Chains A and B, each alone.
Chain A
Amino acid sequence: MPNNINLVNDLFMILPQVILLLTIFVNIFVISFAKQEKSFVVYLSSLFALAVASFLYIFSAVSVNYSAFFGALQLNKFALFFSILICVSAFGVLLISKKTLKLCKKFQAEFYSMMLCAVLGSLFLVQASDLVSVFVSLEFLSISTYFLIGYFKDERISVESSLKYFVTSCLVSAIMLYGFSFLYGVTSTTNMSQILNILINQHFLMTPLNVFAFILIFAAIAFKTSIFPFHMWTSDVYKGAPVTIAAFLSLVPKFAGFALLLKFLPFSIVSVFLIYIVSIATISIGNLLAIRENDLKKFMAYSTIAQAGFILSAFCAYKNAFNLSPAFFYMLIYLFMNLGAWCAVEIFINKTGFSKIDDFSGFAYVNPPVALGFAVCLLSLAGLPITGGFWAKFYLLKSIFFAGEIFWLLFVVVLLNTILGVFYYVKIIKAMYVKPINKAVIKQSIMPFSTLSSLILLICSVFVLYSGFFPQNVKNFVDKYAEITYSIE
């Protein structure tokens, strides 16, 4: 246990967070004293801060393993990876949210600040290594998210979904705290590496209490990553939230949640089996729900449930030689394919005001480039070649199979579920390419579509294709981070 504090070093370690924090302060200052028109400055500065943070994370030394603030935070390889994912996806979401915000015409600057707050919370959560810091950063993330979801406060549905998210989140936080209390009760410490140490050394891993605690803590993870059994809010909240916030929800909190899961995985021997069961349930439920869904945002919500299930199943194999690489690979590809898909959804919804899959009819002949990009991202989500999604799924399946005979049931379930995935993702492609052109959509699409969103879509689809053609390059990048390190003393 570190008993001295080197403030400079510690602050240097959380430099990206510091930058984000400063940007938030500056932004709030600007908002308070400047006029509405200055929101562009806020926008730019937020972007800049996120860019710098991403840059710092991407280019920081990989082999870092640093514990700071009396062990409250710990920066290690996998935390670094999640930080990169979070910053990059937040950067992307921020870029595509400009158009959405134009629709409501006010308080734009606050939006950016709140998003930065959520990112900040996620980053702290990813790096937290103390039960207290975990809880605090989780709440930090959640509270910013309530605000973001209910951002269109004039719209009833937006506020309603914010409330739903809030209520569920509170419930889940309480459950998690309950779980924490067990851990603390057993070990009398809040430092996670110490807890782990004690659990292992004193054979607490084998007690029912431990199982109990882990499942309680798992509730929070399930909520953040919208997996079974806390997946049900997803469709309602995504439907009510602004498009870009839905995109945000499908990325940043999810990554944070998975990071949390990784932290707690060693805390119980049942964890792998729990994930096993939960991932089977999640994939199946997500896929089955998505099959009949016609609302675009709800559809994306169910799709993210299924995708989260896939990622979760990749964690099953973490103990073996293949460690975290497949899960990380999947997450990286997921970031881009999901973001790309949301870009297309954003473009479509904001351009036409329609939000049903059927309204996509003939979209490929109205706007070929966007449709093509969307199609690429959807194919990747479905796991068809030659896209990154195919390799991600293949890598996932391979590692599950190689993990041992116990996991072969999961293997079969994942395999079978990909059929459902192909069915519903191709349904959108069918709407875009096969159905006759929807005249109403053309009439409605008076607004010019956001070039920024298209750009992000382009980048995402190019990356998806690139990772399809050169999966080894992506894998090499991921492999650098794919190692879990606990400092057990």
Chain B
Amino acid sequence: MKDFFVTNSWIISFLPLWSALLIMFFKGLNIYENKEITSLLTLGASFLGFFWSLGLLGCCLQIANFNYEIMVPFLNVGLLSLSFGFLIDNLSVLMLLIVTSVSFAVQLYSRTYMANDKEFHRFFVYLNLFNFSMLSLVMSPNLLQMYVFWELVGVCSYLLIGFWFKRPSAAKAATKAFLINRIGDFAFLASICALGAFSFWFWKFSNVPFLDFSALNGAALSVLGTTTPLVFFLISLGFVLAACTKSAQIPLHVWLVDAMEGPTPVSALIHAATMVAAGVFLIARVYPFLNYSPVAMSIIAWIGVLTAFIMAVIAIFQNDIKKMLAFSTSSQLGFMMVALGVGGYSAALFHLTTHAYFKALLFLCAGAVIHSVNLQDMRYMGELRKSIPFVAGCYLIGVCAISGILLSGFWSKEAIFYILADTSNFGLLALALLSSLLTVIYMLRSYFMIFEGKYNGTLKTFHIPPWGIKFPILLLVMPSVFLGWLVNEPFKTFIKTPLALPKLGNYEILFALSLIIIVIGVLLAFVLYYNGIKEKIKISFIRKFRKFAQQGLYFNKFYEFLIEKLFLKITRYAYLFDKYLVDGVVNFWGLCVQVKSKFLLFWQNGNILSYSTVGVAGLCLLMVVFLLGFSVYMLEVWL
């Protein structure tokens, strides 16, 4: 039984692929209108996948350091052989569980949420393709396969953001998301190529499949042996950059906010719970490699903590509910990054796990809210607790979880603070704590703006969410509430930091500090936002800062300036260069010939006298030439 689960684990990722193909096939027949079959196929795939992953979890819990790989050759050239396969170990099983469970909830939700969309089937095809890619990504045994599915999840995200492609904003957002992710892909591929090239012989001699995760440690040593530390650092930096783009870290976070143009379930699944976590997952996977570059590690930590802080600041000033959540996602991913950067492997993944559930929960609730009031701007909401109390309750649970008010987020964040303190990174710790405070404030702010205070909208009747929407939310509430308590301790042994484990001191003071921060945060939020946004503070500096923060610190504007004013201009000049100079040289020769031709035709004037003159003159010229040449020759002979 155990063997059966493990050896056939590839089926987890192939189930969604098959259901996508089946839906496409049926749709292609043009007789297929049944939405039930589509959603059933999709849900079945996720559910079975979840069930299967549970079975794998069982195996992993039974056997310590469980590790299983299956390989299929992908391409062989010369000495190079690349293969695809599936790696089952604790980390991948954890990710499998997260992805399948969150997707199951989100798909269930989408079944109702998207029911009236004309492109229902297309949506589910994309969703299934995404699941396939994501599951294959987390099960990748080697860097190459990881890259392959890394890009494919990017493509699926592109497709899903641009799902409503008729809206120009959605089209733009999708393109932007893909392009920025492309920078990360570039970095990733460059690093893979460099890593593979510099450690090529290591793989050959050690007889480990090329680029396999299991031997990254040795590969790192081999790279260090063949090149300079600078090159090694650059390779590491490539991985960092890749992770930063996928996980929306500063300064490449700008795509995530725009990605909210996609349907809300997509935001919940891809842009909150799973795909954006791939960056963290990547760092976790190549951890043995990066560990040899302390500079890269500290870069990760600092990027992470800065993201966590800055995104939290921006989130405070956001009025669009989904955008606020997007900034919050970025910020939370920053927490994971900072943990990874200082070696808190387990803490980061723990936060990843809890975050997946509560952020999905928040997004689904936000979707329900949007569904019922038909807009996303929180300024025009308020008092909704009375009309949709269920959603309000669930949202509050989500808020508590993410803010660390004793629900799951508390435990995972606590783990991060511990590791920061443990490694004596007090600067990072301070910023992280500050971000945590800001998290409380902006999350409660959103809750107050949506559900409390006075209603500012124009709608008379609200769309009450049906059970099709409530039930998946309920599914996510459970892990958001209980996960922290239940798996806090077992998690530390389940996901072990692969390298030297930092010894955990006893930091009661940290515990107390977090609690104090929570209290401060809650109080502040109450004061500032309970009755809608307080616009009373009219200090111009704050107003200016608000505008500054609302625009996301002008990162977007800056990039737009770079691209439009600089890059596109350069390309235009390049085109002119090509057209007039490179091609001009070609046409110039043609012109030269034509001019010469005209010159010669000028002499063809029909005048016999000039003809004879030319003839005789030509003859004389030849004579002169030859007699001169002849005399020179004779002179040489004579000398």
Contacts and interface: CB of A to CB of B under 8 A. Distances in A.
B634 to A, nearest CB: 8
Given A168-B615, A211-B630, A232 B603 contact: yes
Given A171-B612, A291-B594, A292-B594, A270 B626 contact: yes
B627 A211 contact: yes
Interface string B599-627: 01101101010111011111101110111
A290 to B, nearest CB: 8
A182 interface: no
Nearest to B611: A232
B386 interface: no
Contact of A229 (B596, B601, B608, B615): B615
Contacts of B593: 288, 291, 420
Q: Which of B598, B603, B623 has its CB near the most chain A CB atoms (within 10 A)?
A: B623
A168 B611 contact: yes
Nearest to B633: A206
B631 interface: yes
A302 to B, nearest CB: 9
Contacts of A236: 604, 606, 611
Interface string A213-248: 001101100110000111011011000000000000
A273 B619 CA distance: 14
A208 B627 contact: yes
Contact of B619 (A164, A208, A216, A293): A216
A229 B603 CA distance: 13
B597 A219 contact: no
Contacts of B608: 163-164, 167-168, 233
A211 B598 CA distance: 34
A196 B608 CA distance: 35
Interface residues of B, number: 30
A200 interface: no
A292 B617 CA distance: 25
A235 B612 contact: no
Contacts of A171: 612, 615-616
B623 A211 contact: yes
Contacts of B634: 206
Contacts of A219: 615, 619
Residue in A167, A218, A228, A229 with the greatest tally of chain B CB atoms within 10 Å: A229
Interface in A117-150: none
Nearest to B589: A419
A230 B622 CA distance: 12
A285 B600 CA distance: 7
Interface string A265-277: 0000010011001
Contact of A289 (B600, B612, B623, B629): B600
A229 B626 contact: no
Contacts of A222: 615
Given A212-B627, A289-B604, A232 B622 contact: no
A426 B479 CA distance: 78
A236 B607 CA distance: 9
A175 interface: yes
Interface string B161-199: 000000000000000000000000000000000000000
A230 B615 contact: yes
Nearest to A232: B611
Contacts of B619: 175, 215-216, 218-219, 229
A289 B597 contact: yes
Contacts of A163: 608
A417 to B, nearest CB: 11
Contacts of A291: 593-594, 597
Interface in A86-125: none
A175 B623 CA distance: 13
Nearest to A175: B619
Interface in A145-169: 163-164, 167-168
Interface string A252-295: 00000000000000000010011001100000010011011100
Contacts of A168: 608, 611-612, 615
Contacts of B631: 208
A464 B619 CA distance: 36
A315 B196 CA distance: 62
B600 A278 contact: no
B630 A208 contact: yes
B566 to A, nearest CB: 41
Contacts of B616: 171, 175, 229
Contacts of A293: 601
Contact of B625 (A216, A223, A277): A277
A211 B626 contact: yes
Contacts of A277: 622, 625
A293 B610 CA distance: 20
Nearest to B618: A229
Interface in A290-315: 291-293
Given A167-B608, A168-B608, A291-B597, A212 B623 contact: yes
Nearest to A228: B618
Given A168-B612, A270-B630, A278 B622 contact: yes
Nearest to A170: B612
Question: Most chain-A CB neighbours within 10 Å: which of B603, B606, B610, B629?
Answer: B606
B614 A232 contact: yes
Nearest to A166: B608
B414 to A, nearest CB: 79
B611 A164 contact: yes
A273 B626 contact: yes
A215 B618 CA distance: 10
Contacts of B630: 208, 211, 270
A249 to B, nearest CB: 16
Most chain A beta-carbon contacts within 10 A, residue among B593, B598, B626, B627:
B626
B594 A167 contact: no
A359 to B, nearest CB: 20
A407 to B, nearest CB: 17
Interface in B15-58: none
Contacts of A273: 626, 629
Q: Which of B600, B622, B630 has the most CB of A within 10 A?
A: B622
Contacts of A233: 608, 611
B508 to A, nearest CB: 88
Contact of A274 (B612, B617, B626): B626
B632 to A, nearest CB: 12
Contacts of A211: 623, 626-627, 630
A182 to B, nearest CB: 12
A413 to B, nearest CB: 14
Contacts of A172: 615
A278 B619 CA distance: 10
A235 B601 CA distance: 10
Contacts of A278: 622
Nearest to A236: B606
A397 B611 CA distance: 31
A251 B610 CA distance: 25
Contacts of B615: 168, 171-172, 219, 222-223, 229-230, 232
Contacts of A420: 593
Interface of B: 593-594, 596-598, 600-601, 603-604, 606, 608, 610-612, 614-619, 621-623, 625-627, 629-631, 634
Given A216-B619, A277-B622, 20 more contacts: A164-B608, A168-B615, A171-B615, A175-B619, A206-B634, A212-B623, A212-B627, A215-B619, A228-B618, A229-B615, A232-B603, A233-B611, A235-B604, A270-B629, A273-B626, A273-B629, A289-B597, A289-B600, A291-B597, A292-B597
**Shortest 3 CB-CB distances between A and B: which pairs?**
A229-B618, A232-B611, A230-B615
Interface of A: 163-164, 167-168, 171-172, 175, 206, 208, 211-212, 215-216, 218-219, 222-223, 228-230, 232-233, 235-236, 270, 273-274, 277-278, 285, 288-289, 291-293, 420
15 contacts: A168-B612, A171-B615, A172-B615, A211-B626, A215-B622, A215-B626, A216-B619, A218-B622, A228-B618, A230-B618, A273-B629, A288-B593, A289-B597, A291-B593, A293-B601
